[in-house]
């Protein structure tokens, strides 16, 4: 797991009014820190720590629903135009709204290397 000290410190201070430095002065126990961190992990869309750990939590549920509705409306308009247009072949389907944490789709026109090209690459690498 990655280290997220700045995000953790910001969340503890923002949500609970607890300074992590209180641990070093003896006013905050490890158990209390663990309880607070566990609580932060159940605040999707609000916790800076959780957003640093998982990009998908940057949006809350209403934002995902709005993006889904927007995508559905765009697709509906596209299908309507495609069905009722004389030059429907010129229309491109709409691209969905990019969501945080999702991979970009790979271009469809990528060409695979032939087995011979792969063998030549390994031969070249082996001779270095």
Which residue, 67, 52, 71, is CA-closest to 4? Answer: 52
| Cβ neighbours for 9, distance < 8 A, ≥ 6 positions apart | 19, 20
Our measurement of the distance from residue 90's CA atom to the centroid of its chain's CA atoms, rounded to an integer in Å, reads 32
pTM: 0.49
> How far apart are alpha carbons 109 and 104 in whole angstroms?
15
List strand residue ranges (DSSP E) for 1-128, in order: none
Instruction: Please tell me the predicted confidence (pLDDT) of residue 1.
Output: 43
| Cβ neighbours for 61, distance < 8 A, ≥ 6 positions apart | 45
Instruction: Please tell me the predicted confidence (pLDDT) of residue 114.
Output: 85
Instruction: Please tell me the predicted confidence (pLDDT) of residue 100.
Output: 84
Question: What's the Rg (C-alpha) of the chain?
Answer: 25
Question: What does DSSP assign to residue 27?
Answer: S
> How far apart are alpha carbons 78 and 74 in whole angstroms?
6
- In order along its 128 residues, the chain shows pLDDT tens digits of 455 556 666 666 666 677 777 777 878 788 887 887 777 776 655 666 666 666 777 777 888 899 999 999 999 999 998 888 888 778 888 999 998 877 766 666 667 788 888 888 888 888 77
Instruction: Please tell me the predicted confidence (pLDDT) of residue 77.
Output: 92
């Amino acid at each position: 797991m990655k280290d997220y000290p700045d995000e953790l410190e910001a969340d503890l201070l923002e949500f609970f009014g607890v300074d992590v430095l209180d641990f070093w002065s003896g006013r905050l126990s490890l158990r209390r820190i663990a309880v607070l961190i566990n609580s932060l992990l159940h605040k999707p869309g609000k916790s800076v720590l959780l957003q640093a750990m998982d990009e998908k939590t940057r949006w809350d549920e209403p934002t995902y629903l709005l993006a889904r509705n927007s995508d559905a409306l765009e697709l509906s308009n596209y299908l309507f135009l495609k069905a009722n247009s004389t030059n429907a072949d010129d229309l491109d389907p709409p691209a969905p709204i990019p969501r945080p944490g999702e991979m970009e789709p790979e271009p469809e026109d990528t060409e695979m290397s032939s087995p011979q090209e792969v063998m030549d690459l390994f031969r070249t690498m082996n001779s270095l």
